[in-house]
Structure 1
Amino acid sequence: MAILVGLLCLLPARAQEAPSYTLQKTNDGYVRMNNKTGQMSICHEKSGQLICKMAVEERAAYDEDIADLKARVTKLEDAVASIGKLPPVVRDALPSQEDFEKGLSYMEKFLRRFMGIARDFENEEKGANPGSQSPQKT
């Protein structure tokens, strides 16, 4: 246990993280490099502040990405807007309210007639065996 504590004391408390950017002085100002992405910017000192602008090639790539994203957003917005509209084939395939009520009426008549036939069978069975009890129904 003491050996483990001794080894832990030798390790640094926290590993140093690499800086996000590296600045390199040039004749005209500075070049700033993003250590994670590798993108470079040209920086000039103005009124005690460092003003950085993207390199020309990176700016063109950035503008292309923005244009591509705008086109994709427009396409998605059009797709979302069209979802609410049913195509005529689907809309015309749905029954009208009148047809729906007519179908429901047929179904109701069928069920009433069916239940009447079932009652008639039950009454006939009771009439044939007046002294017998009807079986338990669960």
Structure 2
Amino acid sequence: MKRITATRVFVTVALSTQVLSLPAQAQDDRRFQLERTEQGIVRLDTQTGAMSLCNDTDGELVCRMAPDERAAYEKELDLLEKRVTALEQRLADRPKTFPDDDAVDRSLSIIERFMRGVMSMVREFGGEPQPERT
């Protein structure tokens, strides 16, 4: 079995540049370009440049990422996984502080004084007749 040659990949990429110069509707219709090889089919995504190796298995086209793209994909997944783990660790390490009883009592006292002031103003202005609106 022969490997996909650099020439074949170059030809596929060169042909994709022609597809990229088509109008938008034609590009949508021809997003993927297929090239038959001895190992199966190479599928080129003309929008992203991603290449997949495909085989016809029981009437279905089964595609896998090219090895170099797979390595880049796996590397990116590893980096993201490390970032998520670091963020989760930072969250776990943060102290979980809750206000003590004195802080809660001070807050309630402030709210109570505020509400007494508001209710006092309502009673003070509540006795005046309201002008009629027409």
How many residues are paired up? 82
Out of 16, 38, 49, the residue aligned to residue 25 of structure 2 is 16
Distance 1:81 1:38 in 2: 40
Tell me what 2:94 maps to: 83
User: What whole-Å deviation, never above 9, does each CA across 1:90-133 have from its counterpart, x for those lacking one?
Assistant: x9xx9984xx98xx9xxxxxxxxxxxxxxxxxxxxxxxxxxxxx
Gaps of 5+ in 1: 1-13, 105-138
How does the TM-score come out when normalised to structure 1?
Answer: 0.49
Query: Quick one: structure 1 residues 55 and 83, their matched pair in 2 at CA, closer, same or farther if it must change by over 3 Å?
Result: same
Helix, strand or coil for the counterpart of 2:68?
Answer: helix
Helix, strand or coil for the counterpart of 2:33?
Answer: strand
Question: 4+ residue stretches of structure 1 with deviation over 4 A?
Answer: none
The structure that has the greater radius of gyration is: 1
Query: Quick one: structure 1 residues 85 and 33, their matched pair in 2 at CA, closer, same or farther if it must change by over 3 Å?
Result: same
Distance 1:39 1:59 in 2: 10
Helix, strand or coil for the counterpart of 1:62?
Answer: helix
Out of 63, 73, 83, the residue aligned to residue 62 of structure 1 is 73
Tell me what 1:30 maps to: 41
Helix, strand or coil for the counterpart of 2:63?
Answer: strand
The sequence identity of aligned pairs, in percent, is 37
Q: Which has the bigger relative contact order, CA under 8 A and spacing at least 6?
A: 2
Which deviates more, 32-41 or 20-29? 20-29
Query: Quick one: structure 1 residues 45 and 96, their matched pair in 2 at CA, closer, same or farther if it must change by over 3 Å?
Result: closer
Could you tell me how far 1:85 is from its partner in structure 2? 3.2
Tell me what 1:115 maps to: none
Could you tell me how far 1:34 is from its partner in structure 2? 1.0
Question: Which one-letter code corresponds to 1:65 in the other structure?
Answer: E
1:48 and 2:23 matched: no
How does the TM-score come out when normalised to structure 2?
Answer: 0.50
Question: Which one-letter code corresponds to 1:16 in the other structure?
Answer: Q
Distance 2:100 2:24 in 1: 70
Distance 2:69 2:24 in 1: 32
Matches within 5 A, 1:108-119: none
- Cα RMSD (Å): 3.1
